[in-house]
Structure 1
Amino acid sequence: MLHKFDTREPQLDPLKPGYPFNAHLVAGSTPIHKNGDLDFWINRPSGLKGFIINLTVAGTGLVFPRTEDERRVHPGDMMLLPTGVKHDYGRAPEVDQWYHRWIYFRPRATWSEWLKWANLIAGVGFLSIDSDVSLQRIESLFEDVEKVSHSETMLSEELSFNLLEQILIRCCELDTNRPQFPIDKRIHQVCQYIHEHLGSELSITELSKIACMSNSRFSHLFKQQLGVPVRQWIEDQRVSLARQLLITTNLAVNQVSRHLGYQDALYFSRVFKKKLGVSPREYREGHL
Structure 2
Amino acid sequence: MTMSWVSRSFRQRAFSYRFGRICSIDKRIKNLENPLMARPSIDTRPLLPAPIITGADTMAARSTYRRSQGLPDHVLIFTVAGYALVGPAAQPLVQRPGDVLLVEPHHSLDQDTGPGQPWRRIWCIFTPRPHWYDWLDWPVVAPGYRQLHVAEVGRTAPVRASLEAMHRHANGAGRLRGELALNALEAALLWCDDHNPRSERAKLDPRVRRALDYIGRGLAEPLTLAVLARVAGLSAPQLTRLFRNHLGLSPMQFVERQRLQRACQLLALTAQPIGAIAHQVGYEDPFYFSTRFRRATGLSPRAYRVQP
- Output the TM-score relative to the length of structure 1: 0.48
Higher relative contact order (CA 8 A, sep 6+): 1
Bigger-Rg structure (1/2): 2
TM-score, L = length of structure 2: 0.45
The structure with more helix, counted as a fraction of residues? 2
